Amino acid sequence: MNNELFEKYKNEMLKMYNSVHKPQAVPVVAEPEPTPVAPPPTDQTGKLLGVITSFNSLYPVENAKVTVFTGEYENMTVIDTDLTDRSGKTKVFSLPTPDKNLSMAPDLSETPYAVYNMLVESDGFLKNIHLNIPVFSGITSVQRSDLIIDADQTGNEPQIFDEGQKYNL
């Protein structure tokens, strides 16, 4: 191939390119300061679901009254109440809890979960009381309760179960 022809072609191409792509002055604009972004809101609620059964968890108990409360049984502060459905489950109770970021701190000066109690009542069964159920922010806790038949129908003192234990987070 002829070098002269090659140079001529190259110069024509550069001339066309420069006529289309003329360099233009671009004004320098300072970039705006980024706006501070607020941290996302933390969900400070946890959930609790009751599952009520009888006969060593074989049969669900329908229409059992489940009361979520704080304080002592004799002087309780009722948070919410529900009746179980035919599968023995309550609605999902939405409960206030501490911020979940507390569990991320190395010094656990505050407990990173809330503690609730649950009273379970149904005709023909002894009452169950579950104390110190831990409820964590953003988590659905499931509390199972197996009722025992009240054979002599005396309505004896309720059975008390302490669910509390310290969780090493």
Q: Note whether residue 14 is domain-resident.
A: no
**CA–CA separation, 129 vs 49, rounded Å?**
15
- Rounded to whole angstroms, the Cα distance separating 115 from 31 reads 50
Q: Is residue 2 part of a domain?
A: no
Q: If you average pLDDT over every residue of the chain, what do you get?
A: 84
CA–CA gap between residue 119 and residue 129 (Å, rounded): 5
The answer to whether the CB of 163 falls within 8 A of the CB of 131 is yes
List all residues 6 or more positions away from 37 whose beta carbon is below 8 Å from its beta carbon: none
Instruction: State the residue for tokens 């004896």.
Output: 156
**127 part of a folded domain:** yes
DSSP letter at 21 equals S
Q: Does the reported pTM lie above 0.75?
A: no
Assigned domain for 113 exists: yes
For 5, counting Cβ atoms within 10 Å of its Cβ (0-12 exposed, 13-18 middle, 19+ buried), the class is exposed
In order along its 169 residues, the chain shows pLDDT tens digits of 577 877 888 888 777 777 665 655 556 666 666 666 555 555 689 999 999 999 888 999 999 999 999 999 889 999 999 999 999 999 999 999 998 877 676 666 778 889 999 999 999 999 999 999 999 999 999 999 999 998 777 767 889 999 887 655 5
CATH number for the domain that contains residue 139: 2.60.40.1120
Q: Residue 134 falls within a domain, yes or no?
A: yes
Number of domains in the chain: 1
Within-domain flag for 34: no
- Domain extent, residue 106, equals 45-161
Are the C-beta atoms of residues 118 and 150 closer than 8 Å to each other? no
DSSP code for 105: S
pLDDT for the residue 5: 78
pLDDT for res 151: 79
Looking at the domain assignment, is residue 12 inside a domain? Answer: no
The reply to whether 103 falls in a domain is yes
